[in-house]
């Protein structure tokens, strides 16, 4: 199956790219083909150097994504499942370390591996009907990566509540729990994410890259979010900024 069949790509204003997971008949569940298409598209955009922000969305009205495609998984051999696992880990690592700002537009269901993709994004916007959950255990799958993401984003109690307690967060509850940046009106999830990405893409590229890299460092495991580390990063970024023209500067 080609990338076009499972992943739709839209370029907006030359610098914003929307990647829409396009398996609405399966609630955009992540198949091996979709995972491969996402990795390829993200790698291509990062290497090309023209995109400045990426929006991740899901097709249809019911779901951002229903997690790993367990129907496909059940039909695979153990070797095929191992390959699927390696591909999914590469996809998550790609998003976790991604050099471009990412915005997730979540409407409807965002479960398991699909929610993990959204949580790797820099900004997560939710609609009022968004339902965020990590039901891996109910599908007989361990929730290790989901547990790490929930723990780092919302704390140990939230991680335990969603993974062990089976709780789902609805709409603005995700914002209150610290998993989403903000709630947006019904039907405006994708448009709000695109508008946010357009604003991001309009910033001065070097300043944006330095700020984005620092925010990613603060979120990564083992980061040292100390004031001295911030001073060091600011010195480096501002030294470069001092050697270019700033808006409103002398002509």
**Tens-place pLDDT, residues 170-191:** 999 999 999 999 999 999 999 9
Sign for the pseudo-dihedral over CA of 172, 147, 54, 23 = negative
Q: What CATH architecture applies to the domain 3-201? A: Alpha-Beta Complex (3.90)
What's the half-sphere exposure (Cβ side, CA atoms, 13 Å) at 177? 29
121 in Cβ contact with 103 (< 8 Å)? yes
Residue with tokens 């580390």: 229
Q: Which of 177, 156, 84 is nearest to 147 (CA)?
A: 156
The two structure tokens encoding residue 236: 């480096």
CB half-sphere exposure, 201, CA atoms < 13 A:
23
Which whole number is the average pLDDT over 74-99? 92
* Helix (H/G/I), strand (E/B), else coil: 42: helix
Q: Taking the CB of residue 28, how many other CB atoms lie within 10 A of it?
A: 29
What is the value of pTM for the model shown? 0.91
Tens digits of per-residue pLDDT, 121-138?
999 999 999 999 999 999
Determine if residue 151 is left, alpha or beta; phi over 0 gives left, psi from -120 to 50 gives alpha, anything else beta. Answer: alpha
> Which of 16-20, 133-137, 204-208, 222-226 bottoms out in mean pLDDT, i.e. has the lowest?
222-226
The CA dihedral of 172, 173, 176, 180, to the nearest 10 degrees, is: -70
At 221 the pLDDT is 58
HSE of 106, CA atoms in CB hemisphere, 13 A: 37
Collapsed DSSP state (helix, strand, coil) of residue 63: strand
Residue 228 CA to residue 236 CA, distance in Å, equals 13
Model confidence at 231, pLDDT cuts 50, 70, 90, reads confident
> How many Å is the Cα radius of gyration of the chain?
19
What is the phi/psi pair of residue 219, to 5°?
A: -85, -15
Q: CATH 3.90.226.10 in the chain: give the residue spans.
A: 3-201
Question: Average pLDDT, whole number, for the chain?
Answer: 91
Higher pLDDT, 83 or 237: 83
The token duo for 79 is: 């070797």
| Tokens coding 44 | 């291509």
| Dist CA 113 CA 157 (whole Å) | 20
Q: How many residues does the chain have?
A: 251
Q: Give the whole-angstrom CA distance, residue 162 versus residue 178.
A: 13
């Amino acid at each position: 199956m080609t990338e076009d069949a499972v992943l739709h790509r839209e370029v907006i204003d030359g610098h914003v790219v929307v990647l829409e997971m396009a398996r609405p008949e399966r609630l955009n569940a992540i198949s091996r083909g979709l995972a491969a298409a996402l990795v390829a598209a993200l790698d291509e955009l990062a290497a090309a150097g023209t995109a400045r922000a990426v929006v991740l969305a899901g097709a249809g009205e019911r779901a951002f994504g229903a997690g790993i495609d367990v129907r496909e998984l059940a039909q695979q051999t153990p070797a095929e499942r191992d390959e699927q696992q390696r591909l999914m880990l590469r996809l998550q690592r790609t998003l976790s370390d991604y050099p471009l700002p990412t915005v997730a537009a979540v409407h409807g269901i965002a479960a398991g591996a699909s929610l993990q993709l959204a949580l790797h994004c820099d900004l997560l916007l939710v609609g009022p009907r968004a339902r965020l959950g990590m039901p891996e255990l109910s599908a007989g799958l361990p929730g290790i990566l989901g547990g790490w993401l929930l723990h780092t984003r919302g704390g140990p109690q939230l991680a335990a509540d969603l993974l062990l307690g089976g709780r789902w967060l609805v709409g603005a509850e995700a914002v209150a729990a610290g998993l989403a940046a903000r709630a947006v009106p019904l039907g405006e999830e994708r448009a709000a994410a695109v508008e946010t990405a357009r604003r991001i893409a309009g910033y001065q590229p070097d300043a944006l890259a330095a700020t984005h890299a620092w925010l990613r460092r603060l979120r990564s495991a083992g980061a040292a979010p100390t004031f001295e580390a911030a001073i060091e990063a600011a010195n480096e970024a501002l030294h470069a900024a001092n050697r270019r023209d700033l808006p409103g500067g002398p002509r």
